[in-house]
Amino acid sequence: MNPKITVAVASRILRQLKRDHRTVALMLVVPCVLITLLWWMYVDREAVFDRVGGPLLALFPFIVMFLVTSVTTLSERTSGTLERLLAMPMGRLDFLCGYAIAFGLVAVVQSMLVAGLAVGVLGLDVRGSVITLGLVAIVDALLGTALGLFVSAFARTEFQAVQFMPALVIPQLLLCGLFIPRDGLPQVLEWVSDALPMSYAVDAMNIVTRSTDWTGNLTKDLAIVAAWTFGALALGAVTLRRRTA
Amino acid sequence: MMKKDVGGVIRVTGLRVARSGRTVLDGLDLVLNAVEVTGLLGPSGCGKSTLLRSLVGVQQVQAGQVQVLGEPAGSASTRAQVGYVTQTPSVYDNLTVAENLRFFAAVLGAPHGDVDRVLSQVDLGNEATHLVSALSGGQRNRVSLAVALLGQPTVLVLDEPTVGLDPVLRRDLWGLFHCLAADGAAVVVSSHVMDEAERCDRLLLMREGQLIADETPAGLLARTGTADVEDAFLQLVEQRTPLTRSQS
């Protein structure tokens, strides 16, 4: 791995993104609109907003980064630029880490905006520190990026890539504890929920919103999400093949 | 072991490649030399791109060997030494020409002045600040070519780099290929347009995964008794004139 190349990849992705005003607007504005919509729905039931708001702060960075990464990596695969890069002295980790850094930075901005709006304007009750909240959001975003990189290997078109979202993300969304507390799920589904990374992303965010301290459970949840992220990146690295058929 | 300074910059022996169950190349042998512009000509689908991809080391091969600068094709140590242009331009549409070149130069570790050098080599100095998406197809091809020239590679593998270019530009690019070869590079250029053949030092004619000729353009015309390469190709296909090699 070569840090210069990694940085070159990351700054190139950010430069491309800067040109794409519409995507940037969708990434930054849509989560803000959604959280405002949620606040409005529960404007007379603050407790519900407080309960659901936290998990959503975990879900937005995950979902947005999953989508953006899977589609951009796929276009890198189909346009021939990935093949060209792999024919150059670029390590696969340089490529993956470049993506992770670039989208990680975007996730920071996105999370700060949404969290700032939710806490500062809409009155979401967050007991933990804003820094911890930002950190959890970044880890969630990196998980989305890593999974997006991985699934892009299994899609041939952007249309297929987008379909991975309902296939892989929505089941996690249903089982992550947002609709029913995870321990209230039927036993088998609880086991499934225990195996899925988004459950831990949401658990971590719930701890931040409900507790002022950094707890051992928070460390454990973040460690599990990070382990999934590294696992997905490693699998993603396997799918970046220099030689193709 | 002393590294022998052999003419063969690229050595292909018994190369066999199958793509989606179809054999594209079956036992191909080839030696490519420095200081030479080799033209790989043949109809679409004859296996030109597959052969070039094998030289660069991005093609899965079933059997045989491809050695580039004494290492297996695609080795980490030789990757910076091989410039490769794919048939469709592989550059980023939403970056400017200069941004594309600066990015690839950073990946290659090429010196700073290289971007300006390759821009003038492909005659895109005036378009440096234009977005690639705003360029014509021919200009995009040249951006892709410029990327391959970064870092002054000793092997250049160019898959149809002159498609869609106007005749003046095409002539200039062939001039550039010969300059690069004169500086010591091995240059392989594929084309499905037979009239580009006479611009090469050496001609490889390919059909259905087989090399049916390997000699100088003049030698080919003399041997087949034809006036142009297109006729020579037809003659070879119809009369099955045995393959002769100008060099081994």
Q: Which of residues 144-173 of B touch A (CB under 8 A)?
A: 147
Asked if residue B107 has pLDDT above 60, the reply is yes
**pLDDT at position B239:** 75
HEC states along A62-105? HHHHHHHHHHHHHHHHHCCHHHHHHCCCCCHHHHHHHHHHHHHH
Instruction: Select from B56, B58, B69 the residue whose CB has the most chain A CBs within 10 Å, as the one to mutate to test that interface.
Output: B58
Residue to mutate among A13, A19, A78, with most B CBs inside 10 A, is A19
b/e map B166-182, b = 16+ CB within 10 Å = eeebbebbbebbbebbe
Alpha-carbon B91 to chain mean position: 18
- Classify residue B2 as exposed, middle or buried by CB count within 10 Å of its CB (0-12, 13-18, 19+): exposed
Alpha-carbon distance of A196 to A227, in angstroms, equals 12
Residue A18 has a CB neighbour count (10 Å cut-off) of 10
Tell me the average pLDDT across B73-91: 91
Whether residue A1 has pLDDT greater than 90: no
CA-CA distance, B57 to B34, in Å (whole number)? 19
Taking the CA of residue B233 and the nearest CA in chain A, the distance in Å comes to 29
Residues of A in contact with B94 (CB under 8 A): 16, 19-20
pLDDT at B4 over 50: no
Residue pLDDT, tens place only, B195-212: 888 899 999 999 999 999
- CA–CA min distance B155, chain A (Å): 13
Please state which of the ranges A133-137, B63-67, B100-104 shows the lowest mean pLDDT.
A133-137
What the block records as the tokens of B169 is 């530009």
Kindly determine whether residue A243 and residue B58, on different chains, have CB atoms separated by under 8 Å: yes
Taking residues A125-145, report their average pLDDT.
Answer: 88
The pLDDT confidence band at residue B7, using thresholds 50, 70 and 90, is low
Tell me the average pLDDT across A209-215: 89
- B68: pLDDT strictly greater than 90: yes
Q: Which DSSP letter does residue A22 get?
A: H
B3: pLDDT strictly greater than 70: no
pLDDT digit string, tens, across residues A217-230: 999 999 999 999 99
Of chain A, the percentage scoring pLDDT greater than 70 comes to 100
Residues from chain B that touch A20, judged by Cβ atoms under 8 A, are 94
pLDDT for res B247: 46
Choose among B58, B95, B109: nearest Cβ to A86: B58
Distance (Å, whole) CA B159 – CA B125: 23
Minimum Cα–Cα distance from B76: chain A residue: A89
Q: What is the pLDDT of residues A41-79, one digit of tens each?
A: 999 998 889 888 888 888 888 998 899 889 888 889 888
| Distance in angstroms (rounded) separating the CA atoms of residues A228 and A198 | 10
- Rounded to two decimals, what is the model's pTM? 0.88
Across the range A128-151, mean pLDDT stands at 88
pLDDT bin (cut points 50, 70, 90) of residue B163 is: confident
Q: A–B: how many Cβ contacts below 8 A?
A: 76
CA B242 to chain centre: 25
Query: Measured between alpha carbons, how far is A182 from A216 in angstroms, rounded to an integer?
Result: 19
Query: What percent of chain B clears pLDDT 70, i.e. is strictly above it?
Result: 94
Q: What is the mean pLDDT of residues B210-222?
A: 92
Average pLDDT score over chain B: 90
Rounded mean pLDDT, A179-200: 94
Residue B242 has pLDDT above 80, yes or no: no
Long-range contacts of A19-25 (CB under 8 A, 24+ apart): A19/B94, A19/B95, A19/B131, A20/B94, A23/A68
Position A20 pLDDT exceeds 60:
yes
Task: Give the closest of A87, A89, A242 to B84, CB-based.
Answer: A87
Interchain CB contact of A21 with B (< 8 Å): no
CA A224 to CA A42: how far, in whole Å? Answer: 32
* Cβ neighbours of A9 in B, within 8 Å: 107
CA distance A64 to B174: 47
Q: What band does B48 get if pLDDT is binned at 50, 70 and 90?
A: very high
Rounded Cα–Cα distance for residues B210 and B47 (Å): 8
Predicted pLDDT at B37: 95
Nearest to B58 among A4, A90, A244 (CB): A244
Q: Do residue B107 and residue A242 have CB atoms under 8 angstroms apart? A: no
* Set of chain A residues whose Cβ sits within 8 Å of the Cβ of B89: 80
Burial class (CB in 10 A: 0-12, 13-18, 19+), A20: middle
- B243 pLDDT more than 70: no
Looking at per-residue pLDDT, the higher value among A61 and B217 belongs to: B217
Instruction: In whole angstroms, give the CA distance from residue B72 to residue A40.
Output: 63
Joined tokens for residue A80: 């021939």
Q: What is the 3-state secondary structure (H, E, C) of A175-244?
A: HCCCCCCHHHCCHHHHHHHHHCHHHHHHHHHHHHHHCCCCCHHHHHHHHHHHHHHHHHHHHHHHHCCCCE
CA angle A14, A20, A24 (to 5 degrees): 75
What's the CA dihedral at B3, B5, B10, B15 to 10 degrees?
Answer: -60
Residue of B nearest to A81 (CA): B90
Q: Does A156 touch chain B (CB under 8 A)?
A: no
- For strand B82-85 and strand B71-72, is the pairing parallel, antiparallel, or unpaired? unpaired
> d(Cα B162, Cα A81) in Å, to the nearest integer?
19
Rounded Cα distance between B243 and B117, Å, is: 40
- Per-residue pLDDT of B171-193, as tens digits, reads 999 999 999 999 999 999 999 88
The pLDDT score that the predictor gives to residue B241 is 53
Q: Which pLDDT value is given to residue B240?
A: 59
User: DSSP 3-state helix, strand, coil percentages of chain A (rounded to 5)?
Assistant: 80, 0, 20
From chain B, pick out residues whose CB is under 8 angstroms from the CB of A242.
Answer: 57-58, 74
Q: Which 3-state string (H, E, C) describes B50-110?
A: HHHHHHHCCECCCEEEEEECCEECCCCCCHHHEEEECCCCCCCCCCEHHHHHHHHHHHHCC
Q: pLDDT at position B2, please?
A: 41
Q: What is the model's pLDDT at position B245?
A: 54
pLDDT digits (tens, 9 = 90+) for A95-110: 988 988 898 888 888 8
What is the rounded average pLDDT of the residues B207-225?
92
Sheet bearing B22-33, strands edge to edge: B22-33, B8-19, B63-68, B71-72
pLDDT, residue A171, reads 94
- What tens digit of pLDDT does each residue of B14-40 get? 999 999 889 999 999 999 999 999 999
Q: What is the pLDDT of residue A107?
A: 84
> pLDDT at position B18, please?
93
Contact A83 B106 (CB under 8 A): no
The mean pLDDT value of chain A amounts to: 90
Q: Is the pLDDT of residue B248 over 60?
A: no
Buried/exposed code over B86-106 (b: 16+ C-beta within 10 A; e: otherwise): bbebbbbbebbbbbbbbbbbb
CB contact under 8 A, A19 and B86: no
